[in-house]
Structure 1
């Protein structure tokens, strides 16, 4: 399929799904409740670096849980798979994203729910100061997105800190179960977690980051390889099985693409070898996923055979 034909289909899907009015903006972080429910933006970055976007594509939004795949990648690059998974599992939880629950080994179920995201933050450059650790995360997003400087939403950060009883409970629950690495500072870990969730990008930046994951860890705009093959494989596998909260199984069944959502209404979708897709629309469904974003993805795989199990080619 030629680029022009693909982009035409994406624009048609954007227009078709714009009318969806279901869902409610997130309210458990008070600042997020102020989001405009009418905002809807989509961007794509193809394998050759071609970009296109629709809607409020210049407007920044908080990453929230969309920060988690990048944090997981950073921990794998620094420590390796064996050490990282001594502290966090890789199975879907089957529960809401902030459930006060650990797996049978006393670990968070996976890196993409709140408990697992907090755990990954404890593993990011633990020998450095908090400011340097945050800078490492911010710099990684800059590289993934082809040089775009991430913003920081201080209002959301302050709001999240002040309404973080559940996340603090998760952290103390994990500490009680001795899940953290030795020497981990719980308060500093939580601070880094809140800061990562408050990083902001627009859909154009996020689509390039998704494309970097789609292209073997190499940014299509800079040509720089950012991730080892094993890191990328693990990240995409966890995104495919755990990236959409407790809707992950249905998303994998019906859409079949690695993805990660956040309660800001952000959605990052990776189509391996083809493109990165980013969607932002604040109204969420009952599982915490963007209503328009999920509808867009459903229509996308109906129009184009992108589901991972629809694109088989015979081995030579």
Structure 2
């Protein structure tokens, strides 16, 4: 811990956390837990990645697949349909217990019974690849065969669910079990798994590809259940000490989400008595002890912790450069990632030109539509020569852009608040 505080003192400028400080701090955590392999995807206006250990070694997701499976089910079928068959509450029981709630449903999607039922609702592999930004996702046939041969408890759960009529009408219980074993046998690396976590942290938009993989509803529900039910019998204590959505697996994996900041995948096979990675949990606790990531840390008054969300002058300049370059290039996906990072989309350069000025001058119609109709930026902003975005579009003869700007000027009333913008971008 002394090394961490020294790294803080050596950081550049007045930043609460710059990229170099983040690298040093995370590196110190992993020195404390040398058998932990960890990959973090931190996104602000652009994606930053940090790896420690053998982050390209494959391992099976096991129960870490459960939140991803549930997210896809809600994305495809909706909350109401999914929760006809599975509850939303922590069970207070061991994850593989033969026990249902008062409505004869599995307690939640993060226990074996709930995951088995949801397995009967969907098809998954392609979505996992999309969530991982097309990075490494594979299948371990050896693990699958082992799960089938030693899965007596899960077979018992399956027959119990069938007896209680928990499956959707027409569902094949053995097929659902088989698929559940397959899901647990999907292989990722810390690198690809961290992209999956970052997709959840980024409102369902993969930060690698910019693709909307999951709906806002699916992400919100998934993070809520991960927060209360994700860490086996340790969920309550984890929520108390760490205060972040997470899911563990008996492979030693811990998938951690810091909403709107980053996704983390840790892998360290040594487990505690209830099946959680010992070093993975310690890493999460140490991370939250330094940074104010806990859901109930007060961002304004918790002065003893670092706040990586606080922008310095250097970071603002970088945001301006990223914003203007994306507008100049017509890169709507990059602009969407920037907006989701809570960057002010009306930032100006040294000539007081906005991204809308630049996009209008270049004639990027889709970019102009995104900045106006989605981000609701001010169309009347003037640069240091007194020109508006409409003036620029007219000067360079971009008639389609002129038409969009004229229509938007006639209806423009206000700029969205940050939360409104975030929800709109996630839809």
> Which of 88, 96, 99 does residue 98 from structure 1 map onto?
96
Counterpart position of 1:239: 226
Counterpart position of 2:175: 188
1:204-226, Cα deviation, whole Å (9 max, x unpaired): 11111101100111111111111
Cα drift, residue 313 of structure 1: 6.0
Cα drift, residue 169 of structure 1: 0.7
Counterpart position of 1:256: 243
Normalised TM-score (structure 1): 0.88
Of residues 1-10 and 50-59 in structure 1, the stretch that sits farther from structure 2 once superposed is 1-10
Counterpart position of 1:170: 157
The yes-or-no answer on 1:75 pairing with 2:73 is yes
Conservation of the 8 A alpha-carbon contact between 1:161 and 1:194:
yes
Q: Which runs of 5+ in 1 are unaligned?
A: 19-38, 125-132
2-structure distance, mates of 1:263, 1:184: 28
Cα RMSD (Å)? 1.5
Normalised TM-score (structure 2): 0.65
Secondary structure at 1:42 match in 2: strand
Conservation of the 8 A alpha-carbon contact between 1:146 and 1:219:
yes
- The 5 Å alignment of 1:122-133 reads 122-124=120-122, 133=123
- 4+ runs deviating over 2 angstroms: 311-316
Rg comparison, structure with higher value:
2
Q: Which runs of 5+ in 2 are unaligned?
A: 1-16, 302-416, 419-427
Secondary structure at 1:302 match in 2: helix
1-structure distance, mates of 2:214, 2:138: 23
Cα drift, residue 312 of structure 1: 4.4
Counterpart position of 1:11: 27
- The 5 Å alignment of 1:1-316 reads 1-18=17-34, 39-47=35-43, 48-124=46-122, 133=123, 137-312=124-299
2-structure distance, mates of 1:149, 1:264: 17
1:194-243, Cα deviation, whole Å (9 max, x unpaired): 00000000001111110110011111111111111111100000000000
Conservation of the 8 A alpha-carbon contact between 2:39 and 2:264:
yes
2-structure distance, mates of 1:46, 1:311: 21
1:92-150, Cα deviation, whole Å (9 max, x unpaired): 111111011111111111001100110110111xxxxxxxx3xxx12111111111141
Secondary structure at 2:271 match in 1: coil
2-structure distance, mates of 1:223, 1:83: 28
2-structure distance, mates of 1:152, 1:241: 29
Conservation of the 8 A alpha-carbon contact between 2:136 and 2:189:
no
1-structure distance, mates of 2:259, 2:145: 36
Secondary structure at 2:161 match in 1: helix
Aligned length: 285
Secondary structure at 1:278 match in 2: strand
